[in-house]
Structures are given as structure tokens and as C-alpha cells.
Structure 1
């Protein structure tokens, strides 16, 4: 465990620079008011210098006979917005934030927190230690620590409830949500909302409360309201977090800690908060969630042949178009519209086009002036090439032509145009308006400026863009291939769909693979299989056992032939109460179809353990992930992990498949892959990755993978 912790700290060191230990608070006296102006751009994070500056500033103001009140305010764009991430993974220096807060609360002169921007985490704790809190209308407050697998560690869990009551405090701290300032005032967090110049308003307010008694303004002396309903509030909050954040430890511990504010004396509650904070801080989930936090930022630092995020310049995108008004196309159009971008939606079916609230069009000629077009037609190469050929003739030369293909090599599409440098993949995930991953794919001739444009577009429409090199399946679906294929093989051999789904959901996936198949549509995967067979120059029949030399499972085809397409028909791998229903139930016909298939193939059913189910699905996709790194389809394990977190809802508390592999131990993962390579013949995805073999044999820590990945491509 210690080795893993040290490895994680070294990993953080790849992203973090040294923290400035100098005081970062400007101290001044304006009339009878001491002003402590936090000056640690860009977000005034609570670094050692800020903590030291606040403590010494409050102490200096306490000693100054001319000072009668104190204002804490942020310089620049925000009040302190939380901890300094540059100090993550490093030993903390005194004064601790709690010590700073105690000095503020103990001040004999009233302290006013004047809030603008975002007052988050430790910043909100500083505000809660202050005697008064004022804010501008645009400000927001919150405790986002739960997103990092933590809880507020400087009194937040014990102090917020004394202002808001238990239900609000439990919800805010366990969800990490940001609260608009008007709502914060309703909750009792803010004393006054001010307009105009915040500094002037803060000085005026600070003068108005000079000489007032302070004890009733100190939260440590307040009683949590409605504490007599503790059990009722706790039960309701716990039921909510267990349902909404299934598998996550931190939200549950947050509820337990806030509960303590109502049933323990203040000092005991503070001690419990600290103990539970340290417990979470040392947990595997916190390490995974913090890794995911930094990984999400790392994927924006993209690199490709000929350019990078540093050198490429995005082209302006002022108008857009989407080709195809089906489920994906309309979802993509919603994303663009929500970001304020005008959208033409081209559809061949006039009835479909007219019911949607876009700029509907049936004519390609209407797209002649748009800056960017996204094609979202069926996954058929000939159809896509036809669309791109038309767009190439009609769209202006500077227009970027994007394809939402999920598997087809971008190079095969771009040759239908005279501008392959302007052709790029923008792979959205269903439902497009909800799933946050945008997998951007560059071909051999895609220009860095084109890539920069779609990477920026991803941010504009609130997606998490990840850049990958073109190949069949790209990154996400290429890894998802063995993951899903193994689930079918497992059913072939004896497992039930519900057993497999349960293993996945117990691990933290929101839905198992068979529920996902029913949601996306069995007919979709049926069509994709036919496209693959066509590309290989063959056809799929009931007797097909191999496709392209690889083992093939035809179970999905049997369900398709029965008209069981999933939720859209009310039955698929599961039965639904109605067409389009969401609640799956076990269906006897499903078992009959599976048994009939096994008999036709001569397969004898065997008992398969949950461990084998887990390993065959997750280890096969991990092996493919190492192959992707070997081939340079992406550059870092972070790009893989973020793709799975935001594309397939992989549990963030696991960190992503590659990070999770590092936590299990690469030698164990490699050994099991070798085992399945021997016991599962004709499955190419079990051929062990050379990169994985090298990393496992040399026991390379996660923080040093990058060097070995680069060398593996030389």
C-alpha cells in the first residue's frame, strides 16, 4: 500500500509545480477596517502562503488599536476557490486551514468574508469561520471535495449544518454541487447580497457591524437546528446517496460526518471529521478520483504528428450543420444549440425534419456557408463517402467536415473529398446530449488546426474531448470490442445475461452489457456486424463461427431474427413492461434462445464464476488498451481512462481501466491474460500486449509508464 501511495505522489508530480510558500495576502488598513486581500492567481487557492498570510493578517489586525473590523476578500476573479492542487501529494505545512479558521473566529474584531466568483471547499470554510458573509449576486458557494473522494476537512461538515440545518448540509456536502448565491442566502449561508463595487460594499458593511457582540456570530457555539429529526434526515440522505452514488465511499462518509454535528459536541465532531478525512485521504477511491481529476486536465494537452495544443490555432466556428436527424444526429444538434451555435439539420425525410426545433433543410446547398458540418448517418462506408463527396462540392473551402463514425477509419472517408486536411472524426456517445466524451479522431492528412478546432468545439459544447489516431474502432470502441465480445462468449459457455450484468454493476458500471445492448438496440450491433463482414469480403450465417480468423458468437443474430431489438420493441435480452420501457425483467424466451443456440453449436453449459466473468471482460479490454498505447493510437493511459469514464460511465472511483490495472498489479493482470490466451483459442484479443509484458516483467510503477510507452514505439 505504501508503494502505491508513493507511486501516486510521484504521478501527481508530473502535473504539479512547486508551491509558492511566500505569503500571498495583501494587508492594508482603510480607515478603521483591515483588509486581507488574497492574491494567489488564478483562483486564489489556499496555498501555504495564503494560509500563512490570512493567519498573520488577522493576528496583526487584532493587535492594531485603530482597526475595529476586518474584511477578507479575493483579488482578481474570485474569492478563494479551494485547496491549492499544486500541494496535492506533498506534506502539508503549518498553519493548517483549521488553525487559520480558529484564528479568524477567535478574532476580537468582527471578520467579514466578502465573496465574489466561486467560494468553494476551503474557501467556504474560511467564510464559515468568519463572523459575517456578504456576496455579489453572481457568486457561488459549495463543497466539491467529494468529487476527489474526500470530505471538507477544516470544519465544513460541522459548521455548515449550524447555519442551514441537516438536510441542506448533507445534500450540499455529499453532492459537491455549487449553490447560486441567492439560494445560499435562503439557506442562511450568506448574510447579505450586495451590488456594485464589492470592496466598497464590504468596507461599508464592516463599519456597520463594528462593536457588535461576536459570540452569537461564532458557529462553534450554535446548535444545529431540528436536531430532534436526526434519524429521519440521516435515513433519507443516506438512501439518496446510496442510490445516486452507488459504490462511492465518500458521499456516505460525508453524511455520517454531518450527522455528527448534531449528536456530538463541537470539538468531538471536529475530531471525528479530521479522522474520517484522513481515512478517506488514504483510500484507494480517493487516489483513483484524484487521478481522474488530473487525467481530465491532462487530455487537453494533445499532441499529434506536426502539431499540438501549443502550436495549432483553432478556426472560428460561428455556424454548424448536422447531416441526419436520427437519434444521434438530433442529439448532436441539441449539444450545438445548447452552446448557442446556429445549427442546420439536414434530413431526407421531410416529416422527421419538420418536427424538430432547428433550422430544418432538405437541401445540401443551404450548407454552403457553414463553418463546420457533422455527418451522423448510418454506419455505412459507401453512404458516408457519398455524403462527404456532396459536402466537399458545396461547403466553402475553409469548412471543416466531421464524421460521427464510431468505427470506420477516417482515411477511408476523407478520400471522397479534395480536402482531407479538413476531415476529422467527432465521435459522440449515446445519448449525445448526455454523455460527455467527444472522441476526436485525426487521419493521416488531418491538419493540426482542424484538430485544434474540434478540440475547442468539444469544450464549447461542454464535452470532454480526447484526441486519438484513426484505426478501426479508434480507442473507446476498439477496447469495448473485446469487453462486449467476451460477454457473449461467456453466455455461450454457460453464464446468464443477468449474472454478467450483475458482476458489472457490482463493480460500479451503471448498467451491465446486456442491458446496454437492449438500450442501444440489438439491430444496431447486427448492422455493424454485417458492415464488418462486408469489409472482410464475407457474409454471416447461422453456421458462422469465425469472422476474419477470429472467434464469432452469433447469439446476437438469433435475438435479431426473433425481432427482439431491445427496449424499442419491448423485448431483447430482457423483457420490458412495454415498448420503450426501462425496467428489465428475466424472460423465459431468452433462456430458450440461448439453449437452442448452444445445442446448435454443440456447446455444453458449464458453471462460470463471477471472478472469471470479471477477468474475461475487464482484462481483455485492458490488454487491448496496452496495444492501443503500443501502436500510438493515443499517447497516454489518461486518454484511455478518461474515454472510458465519460464514454462508458466506467466508475470514477476505480480511476479507469489502465489506472485500475496498475492498482491490481500488472504482473497479475498479465498472468491472467496469458492464462486466457491458452484457454480461449481463436480470440485475438487475448494475445498478450508486448508493452504490458515489458511493464509487468520490470514492475514499472504507473508514474513511469510514459517513458516506456514512448520507447515501445521506437
Structure 2
């Protein structure tokens, strides 16, 4: 007999109850699916003829986690923990057939089954830790019982995917088949029934506890490694895995539930979940959902110089073939050895093998610009003077060169091969095909694009300029640059304004205007022959090879000769003002249409300016501080740059309606 339900399939064949998860596209275990699975298990256990349960997922994978929105207010009943408890308590043996990508709650459901069969292509992972969360349906208690503390922590702390046919994940499977996990699971069930059909609750397994010394060592090792890390969730996962070996199973589940709740309501998790959603939203570049996205295999990079070298290197690393063309043969004669040195550095560090480096370099063609535009899907200009290079019709052209943008410009956060941000500058003459090409290139390079409407300026540039302008204002009012940088660095931002200015070079920033009565302190430093890192002294002293910064005792006297000192502001006051000023600049960008939503600004801040992702960008942060509190702090600042510190009208509108910038995201 058989019956089809909306989210769960149910059938009985010779006493084997087949329960199939049907929630495309990824079989997310949302509330309705959990309820349907619970009902299906209740029904199966009441079947007089039933002898076993085969649990599988229909479509491309077994199952994945629940809807992220459930993390905001807590999951509706039945919870994953309740579902997993019901599965494990089944009087009939439960065999889970795993295939595809199995994530989070999907892995927890599989762990609650009595046996697991997987095909060789199955990959599992616990991405929760990247969202400031931890497993909450028993994984921290069941997983160590199967594989021990070391392997369990490797699986749960990394957030990565692991193949079920290799350590550490292979220990979860009772059988790995070459293909077709459902067929393999059916054969496994038949063999199991022939052998008596015993249930085997994971909670009763002790294999992972067999070596208490190794178990304790693995816990201690991870705890020590995380001692100075700011993130909460990894530490809670370690504590829960330790508890698995110290507490009875039910007490361990209660420990896990309490720790998971602590993580869920934390500011860190709220920031990380907001960042995750913001990045996925930004990736669309506001193109129609059904816009076709081409798969790129070969691109052209036109132009020589450092930018071109970095672009070619990044593309080759990601598996793209590259045609590298210049009009100046000398640029290639200099650039190709530089490219090879970059690969050599990766090989020396063990980041890739010599054979891998040679394979990637084999995908590189070099020559004259005009000869390199054929057989590619996208052309990227990496130097000036390439715009008139002839190319086949229909090949989108994008420019990575700084300056005015008429069509579509790409602004990569440095270093290009490692940083994940591309600001896609959409100019007045941009075509839809170019924007689609920019999105396809971002996907091929594994980067997150943010759509920006501007003549050429970047969101990152404006945010950092606002940060430095705010920091200068605080120095005008008697604060010390080191106190300002320290307040931000100890909070978790390792690119605070004065340190960042020194690294860039103070002469580059000295010409930036300030309001009447305000000062540009980079200009003051340059006037005292302090030019930044390259000159050996700026706001900091720079000594050694490579030069490292240290605080200069003489800076205080220099400052006091230029302006009076004042009572120091608290670190929290400094942060509230600096991030308030950055959010105020973000509001200006929103008002002008330069960016479409506040979350795009936060993506740029975390990926481009390296604000801690677990803290969030400035638009998120002012919501954490409270918009009214931030407005009062800015309005109360007695500084001549009134226009800069006056909150933008959107602050008042949001405060009036009891909302934050999150409400403007769409």
C-alpha cells in the first residue's frame, strides 16, 4: 500500500516502512516536515506488519537544517530534538539512507537513526558554528559516542563538508555503497532482519568513549586552542562534547539544549545570522530570480601590472582558464615571473602541490591583447588603454581599473586571491549582460558581489573615510589616537583608523578636506615629517623588517602642542561615535541610491574593511546600540563639523516607528 503526503512519503513493502522526506529543493527540516515525520513514525510503529523503517530523502539529498528564521524566536513544536528522540526510541530498527549534501539537522536526524547507509558521494557538515549556533538535537551527545571527541569536534567546529567515505565522517556509516544509497539501505535492512532485526539506539553506544585519556586530551586540546578566540559557539560545543562523557545521556541532552539556547540568543549569533542572510541577498546583484547565469570556463584579462597579476592568479587558483593579454610585451615579461613566484609561495607554504601549481599554470595563455579576446566568456580590463581592443561580438567587458565608471566596474578587496568582496559598480551605460557577467565572475571566483550605483567611488572607501573623519574629530576634541585605535582593536577590529592610515601612507590622506575648525590629522603628521609605515613613523613608529608598529611616547607631546587634551572617553563611547558616524555615512549612501539596502553596506564593512563578522557592520551595530542612543551621542558632540555629525533623517523615521535599519532590507 502507499500514500503520498505533502512533505513526507509513506509506504510499506513486505513489512519495511519507507518514509521519504519530500521538501524540495533541499529537504529542509522545517516545522511542517518535522510534524509529518513524527506522525509517520507514530504510524509506522503502530503497523502490525511492520518490521523495520527505512528513512530516506527524495530529490538531490537526504535532508538539511531547518529554516534560519526559526533561530530568531525558537523553533515551533515539534522541535528537532523531539523528532530525534522519537526516531531513536522506535521499537523498530531505523535505517537512514544518506545521499547528496546532508547538513546540520539532517545529520542529527541521521545520528538518531539506529543504522546509516550512505553512497560514496555523500557529504555531511555542521554549518551552525558559522552562524554562532551549535547543534541542538543531540549531535554533541550522539556523535562522540560513535567517533570519539577528536573526530566529533573536527566535524562540528570546522563548519566544513566531509565525505562519508573518508575520515572522520566514515565512522558514522555502517555501510558505504558506490551509488544508490536507498537500494543499499534496502539490502542492509534485509540482512539486518535476517540477523534478528535488533534496534541499536546511538545513545547506548560507547565505542567513542573506549579511550578516556584520548577523549579528554582531545577536549583539552580544542579548549586551549579556542581560549583566546572571541566566538562563543565553538567553546560551547567543546563543553557539550566533554559533558557527553561525564553525564548520563538525558542530562547531556539538557546540557546541550541550555548551551544551544545561550548561543541562539547571543549578540554574536544575531550578527552572524544577519551577515549570512545579507551575503546571500547581495549575491543576486538584484537580477531577476530566473536570470540565466553562464558557467565561466575561460576569461580574458587585458593589461599588465600588479592588478593584472593578482587577477590572473586569483582566476587560475579558482580553476578558471585565463587568456592574459597586453599591448606591451615587456609587461608580460615582468608579470609572468611574478605570477610564478605567487604560485611558488603557495607551494612552499603547503597550500598546494607543485603538480597542482603546474596544472593551473597550464591553463594560462599569454599574448597580444587583441589575440587574447577570442574563445572567452568575459573580458576584464586590468589596465588603462584596453578599451579599444577589438573583441568578438557579444563578449561582456568589465573594468577592474579605478576611476570613472560608465558601464560596469569591479572593485576587488585586497588581496584579490583571498578577500571575498567585489563591489560591482553599475554605471549609467551598464547593460544587463554585463551585470550578469559580473555575477557569473563573482561566482566563479567564489566571491560575494555587492551592487553599487556610483560614478566610481566605492562603499568601502566612503565608510573608511567616514571612520577616519570621525576619529580625527575625536582627536580635535582631545582624545588620543592610541585610545581610539585601542578601543576598536580590543573590540575585535584589527584595522582601526590611525593604524590603517599609517599602513596606507599619510600623504595619500592628508589632502582630504575637513570642515572649518576641524583638522585632518594625517596632514598634521605629514607636516612633522611623519609619513606613515613607509617613512618609519606616522601615528606609530614602524621598525624592523617587515616594519611593525609600536606606540610612540613622543606623539603625546606633539598632540598637546597642537590641541589641548581632554578627559578620555570610555571605549564604549568611542565605538558608539565611530560606528554611528559610519552608519550615518551609510544612510547618506542609501538616500542617494548608491546602495539599495543597509545590509549591503554591512557586507562591505565585514568583507572589505574586516569588521568582525560576529560583531556585524555599522548598520547592524547601531541597531544593537540603539538608534536613539547613537543619535544622542552624535548630536551631543560639540565639534565644528556639524553637518557630518548630524543624524540623517532616516534615523528619526526609524526611531519614530520603533524600527532599526534591518527593517529596510529587502
Which category describes the TM-score, using the shorter chain as reference length?
A: 0.7 to 0.9
Partner of 1:474: 458
Structure 2: gaps spanning 5 or more residues: 341-360
Are the aligned partners of 2:635 and 2:645 in contact in 1 as well (CA < 8 Å)? Answer: yes
The change in CA–CA distance for 1:517 and 1:326 in structure 2 (over 3 A counts) is farther
The change in CA–CA distance for 1:191 and 1:352 in structure 2 (over 3 A counts) is farther
Partner of 1:363: 368
User: Displacement of 1:312 after TM fit?
Assistant: 5.7
Cα deviation 1:551-595 (Å, max 9, x = unaligned): 4333586399667535xx8877556674336xx45254xx44675
User: Displacement of 1:139 after TM fit?
Assistant: 1.2
Are the aligned partners of 2:576 and 2:625 in contact in 1 as well (CA < 8 Å)? Answer: no
Correspondent of 2:273 among 267, 280, 290: 290
Of 79-88 and 622-631, deviating more is 79-88
Distance in 2 separating the partners of 1:510 and 1:182: 40
Distance in 2 separating the partners of 1:672 and 1:45: 44
Partner of 1:374: 380
Partner of 2:444: 460
Are the aligned partners of 1:474 and 1:633 in contact in 2 as well (CA < 8 Å)? Answer: no
Partner of 1:16: none
User: Displacement of 1:318 after TM fit?
Assistant: 4.7
Cα deviation 1:514-556 (Å, max 9, x = unaligned): 45456xx434x644x48xxxxxxxxx5xxx9759997433358
Distance in 2 separating the partners of 1:401 and 1:685: 38
Q: Does residue 209 of the first structure (1) align with residue 168 of the second (2)?
A: no
User: Displacement of 1:341 after TM fit?
Assistant: 2.4
Q: Does residue 674 of the first structure (1) align with residue 661 of the second (2)?
A: no
User: Displacement of 1:166 after TM fit?
Assistant: 1.4
TM (norm. structure 2) is 0.85
The change in CA–CA distance for 1:184 and 1:232 in structure 2 (over 3 A counts) is closer
Structure 1: gaps spanning 5 or more residues: 1-20, 378-383, 415-422, 531-539, 708-714
User: In the TM superposition, what are the counterparts of 1:395-474 in structure 2 within 5 Å?
Assistant: 395-405=391-401, 408-410=403-405, 414=406, 423-471=407-455, 473-474=457-458
Partner of 1:125: 108
Distance in 2 separating the partners of 1:556 and 1:127: 64
Cα deviation 1:109-134 (Å, max 9, x = unaligned): 32111111122211111111111112
Are the aligned partners of 1:323 and 1:374 in contact in 2 as well (CA < 8 Å)? Answer: yes
Q: Does residue 309 of the first structure (1) align with residue 281 of the second (2)?
A: no
Distance in 1 separating the partners of 2:455 and 2:467: 18
Distance in 2 separating the partners of 1:564 and 1:516: 10
Q: Does residue 335 of the first structure (1) align with residue 314 of the second (2)?
A: yes
Partner of 2:30: 47
User: Displacement of 1:608 after TM fit?
Assistant: 3.2
Are the aligned partners of 1:35 and 1:71 in contact in 2 as well (CA < 8 Å)? Answer: yes
Correspondent of 2:257 among 274, 278, 293: 274
Q: Does residue 622 of the first structure (1) align with residue 627 of the second (2)?
A: no
Distance in 2 separating the partners of 1:672 and 1:653: 24
TM (norm. structure 1) is 0.80
User: In the TM superposition, what are the counterparts of 1:477-488 in structure 2 within 5 Å?
Assistant: 477-488=461-472
The change in CA–CA distance for 1:341 and 1:545 in structure 2 (over 3 A counts) is closer
Distance in 2 separating the partners of 1:652 and 1:555: 32
Q: How many residues align?
A: 633
Distance in 2 separating the partners of 1:44 and 1:560: 64
Partner of 1:238: 223
The change in CA–CA distance for 1:435 and 1:696 in structure 2 (over 3 A counts) is same
RMSD: 3.4
Of 692-701 and 460-469, deviating more is 692-701
User: Displacement of 1:392 after TM fit?
Assistant: 2.3
Partner of 1:693: 652
Of 694-703 and 624-633, deviating more is 694-703
Are the aligned partners of 2:7 and 2:36 in contact in 1 as well (CA < 8 Å)? Answer: yes
